[in-house]
Amino acid sequence: MRQCRQEAASLLRLGNAYQSLGQYERAIEKYQESRAKLRKIGDRRFQAHALSYLGKAFHAIGQHSEAIKHYWQCLVIMREIGASQGEAKVLGYLGVGFDSLGQHSEAIEYYQEALKIQRSISYSQGEATSLCQIGNAYRALGEYSEAISCYRQSLAIAREIGARQKEADSLGNLGKAFRSLGEYSEAISYYQQSLKIAREIGYAQGEAACLGNLGVALGSLGQHQKAISFHQQCLAIEREIGHPAGEANSLSNLAKVFRSLGQYKEAIACYRQSLAIKRDLGDLRGQAISWFNIGASLTKLGKESEAIAAYRNASYLYRAINLESDLEKCDRNINQLEAAQARRLYEFAFASNREPATQISKNSIGDRSEGSSLDFHAIVHWLTSVFGFIYN
């Protein structure tokens, strides 16, 4: 039994190493092997750790429902063994899972349960974390006054207990809330305070986050060159510390600035680099977002066939992870582009005095709404057979 426990612990450490390198699927494999051994010997406490790590790994690759399933199993064990601090942490993880699914009100309920436990056991750092998380959920709901109130409470606790990293995080979150309100000068002030602390304590990931947030705020103010500079600094740090998820996010932020400048080729190059990282991480939602943004940028360049292909990739991924609202938006863009292509094909046919079948009307080509009797692909097939190419 002792040897089995040691093997399980070694597998957990190996999984953690893979997770720190961004190799989440290999981490999941090791955590699952460890959990199997721990179940065999009935070690509930270590099983809870394995389940928690599995949840984090699934969350990292965008499989939030799978993450929640593992957190639930972990929570049951934490309650059985009376591990209050562990219970509070897992409740927080569950909140993050529901936040990631867009279920922010449910997330708040879990965060508040966690906060109640942390206050009952006088765990101040955990209390500050829960207040930040509640603030994040309120911010996602557009309830910015409540978010700011939570962030300020978290900041006060962090300063009281001398938790400088948590202080930097709270200041950064306040910046995000004020940015959401359009108060960019206030947001920048908080980001700068956060950045100063992050640099003083050698908190590289926090420094990168601040630089990225400053880039976003400056971009919103139309200061695009400054925004690019901050995003590039952020990207350099993310690469230096080996944080691939942060690197992918920085590349996406750079791409947004290039799109704002009308530099769509540069934007697409950044989105494609971000996509490659998200693919390596197994982040399905992140890949879908990248494909969608590539589609939008290709549309601006007039490359409609390539844009449709990109949107179809996004659509496939959104369907795989059951994100219906994103899927609908994606499919709507595909329909609009296909309708525009069909209309031009039809007009080209008439310009060449080679009229298609009379039952296909010009107006029906523009109608790509659900329930339309138009068979778009039949039109494209007919026109392609006549002219031998697709006009784009």
Using left for φ > 0, alpha for ψ between -120 and 50, and beta otherwise, residue 182 falls in left
Tokens standing for residue 140:
């996602």
Under 8 Å CB-to-CB from 319, ≥6 apart: which residues?
A: 327
Domain end position, chosen among 18, 49, 82: 82
pLDDT of residue 383: 56
Which domain range does residue 333 map to?
Answer: 284-392
Q: Is 95 among the domain residues?
A: no
More confident site: 376 or 106: 106
Domain end position, chosen among 54, 82, 110: 82
Q: Is 185 among the domain residues?
A: no
Q: Is 388 among the domain residues?
A: yes
- With beta carbons less than 8 A apart as the criterion, state whether 339 and 368 touch: yes
pTM above 0.85, yes or no: no
Under 8 Å CB-to-CB from 251, ≥6 apart: which residues?
A: 235, 270, 271, 273, 274, 277
Q: Could you tell me which of 114, 122, 121 has the C-alpha nearest to residue 132?
A: 114
pLDDT of residue 281: 84
**Domain of residue 48, CATH code:** 1.25.40.10
Quick one: what percent of the chain has pLDDT higher than 90? Answer: 75
Q: Could you tell me which of 51, 265, 187, 341 has the C-alpha nearest to residue 59?
A: 51
Question: Given pLDDT bands bounded at 50, 70 and 90, which one contains residue 370?
Answer: very low
Question: What does the DSSP assignment read for 47-65?
Answer: HHHHHHHHHHHHHHTT-HH
pLDDT of residue 373: 38
pLDDT of residue 369: 47
Per-residue pLDDT at 342 exceeds 90? no
Per-residue pLDDT at 371 exceeds 90? no
Question: Given pLDDT bands bounded at 50, 70 and 90, which one contains residue 374?
Answer: very low
Q: How many CA atoms lie within 13 A of 151 on its CB side?
A: 23
Q: Could you tell me which of 61, 52, 59 has the C-alpha nearest to residue 34?
A: 52
3-state helix, strand, coil in the chain (%, to 5): 80, 0, 20
Three-class DSSP category at 359:
coil
- With beta carbons less than 8 A apart as the criterion, state whether 352 and 386 touch: no
Three-class DSSP category at 392:
coil
CA distances from 204 to 31, 133, 207, 310 (A): 28, 21, 5, 34
pLDDT of residue 391: 44
Identify the sign of the CA torsion 181, 186, 188, 192: negative
Average pLDDT, the chain: 90
Comparing 100-104, 131-135, 234-238, 311-315, the range with the smallest average pLDDT is: 100-104
Tokens standing for residue 326:
């994103």
What is the C-alpha separation between 129 and 155, in angstroms, rounded? 10
Tokens standing for residue 148:
């700011």
pLDDT tens digits along 253-289? 999 999 999 999 999 999 999 999 999 888 888 999 9
pLDDT tens digits along 124-156? 999 999 999 999 999 999 999 999 999 999 999
What's the whole-number mean pLDDT along residues 353-359? 50
Domain end position, chosen among 49, 82, 115: 82
What's the whole-number mean pLDDT along residues 162-188? 97
Buried b (16+ CB within 10 A) or exposed e, 350-381: eeeeeebeeebeeebbeebeeeeebebeebee
Q: Is 392 among the domain residues?
A: yes
What is the C-alpha separation between 251 and 259, in angstroms, rounded? 12
Quick one: what percent of the chain has pLDDT higher than 70? Answer: 89
Q: Is 133 among the domain residues?
A: no
Tokens standing for residue 133:
């998380």
pLDDT of residue 359: 47
pLDDT tens digits along 28-80? 999 999 999 999 888 899 999 999 999 999 998 888 899 999 999 999 999 99
Q: Is 362 among the domain residues?
A: yes
Q: Is 385 among the domain residues?
A: yes
pLDDT of residue 379: 59
pLDDT of residue 353: 55
Q: Is 197 among the domain residues?
A: no
Q: How many distinct structural domains can be found in the chain?
A: 2
Under 8 Å CB-to-CB from 243, ≥6 apart: which residues?
A: 22, 205, 208
More confident site: 243 or 347: 243
Q: Which amino acid is at 345?
A: L
pLDDT of residue 116: 98
pLDDT of residue 48: 96
What's the whole-number mean pLDDT along residues 311-326? 91
